[in-house]
Amino acid sequence: MGSGPENEFLTIACQAAYEAGTILKNHLFLPKKITYKGSIDLVTNVDKLSEKTILSLLKGTFPSHNILSEESQFSASNSPYLWIVDPLDGTTNYAHGYPCFSISIALQIDGELKVGVVYNPTTQEIYTALVNQGAYKNNHPIHVSKTSSVHKSLLCTGFPYDVGTSERNNLSEFMRVIKSAQGVRRDGSAALDLCRVAEGSFDGFWELKLKPWDVAAGALIAKEAGGCITTFEGSPFDPSIDTIICTNGLIHDELRQLLQNDT
């Protein structure tokens, strides 16, 4: 992957992901304390244990850096460095003992994503990327698929926590796409979904109402694997914007038109 300051950041991010992943694995089938941030938006005590482990290592190694993490209050300084952390992406899956969840750690420098790590502790798959240096799974290069039409594509999506109360809930988009695609999956971890696009298992992914910690690392990994990532409207990807389409590039316009109902 070359050399440079980003390599140190990547090394520490991987270490944090591995240490937090051990905690997630060890607690997976133990009783959990579950609280709710919304009617179906839950958090477990293990989310917070994982976060504590990650933040302790990041703060101990890079004390001047900012950290944006799902379960902690954000306090900004003037540092150009911003870590974006999801200590447990797929909490609902985790709380039910369903082994599809991940740890997501990204680093922005001066607003640009530079480092991305997504770790699946149940399979010990670690996806990594440094900007302009490609994407890797367990240190092996990965690349997006070459599927050229939505009709032949396996896609993935998800639904927001207010799916039952908001009209902006991805259901109409889902109905349009599933009628056109070979298949659509709903796995419950956006970070892993983006990595599956990066390695070519999925040909595309879309979702709305996600947060920066859900997508930052996975988006960099997918982009470095040759993927195309935009908003629903076609604007450049930004982790602070809450719509995302990530594809192999070949089906991007077709999928975006379906989501925009422009067909």
pTM of the complete model beyond 0.85:
yes
Q: How far apart are CA 13 and CA 95, in angstroms?
A: 24
Question: CA of 24: how far to CAs of 50, 51, 211, 233, in Å?
Answer: 7, 11, 21, 37
Q: Closest Cα to residue 102, out of 213, 240, 246?
A: 213
Using pLDDT thresholds of 50, 70 and 90, give the confidence band for residue 38: low
Is 60 exceeded by the pLDDT of residue 262?
Answer: no
Domain coordinates in residue numbering, the chain? 5-141, 150-260
- Which CATH fold topology does 150-260 show? D-Maltodextrin-Binding Protein; domain 2 (3.40.190)
- The CATH class given to the 5-141 domain equals alpha beta
Is 80 exceeded by the pLDDT of residue 5?
Answer: no
Output the pLDDT for position 263.
Answer: 42
Of 28-32, 120-124, 217-221, 234-238, minimum mean pLDDT range = 28-32
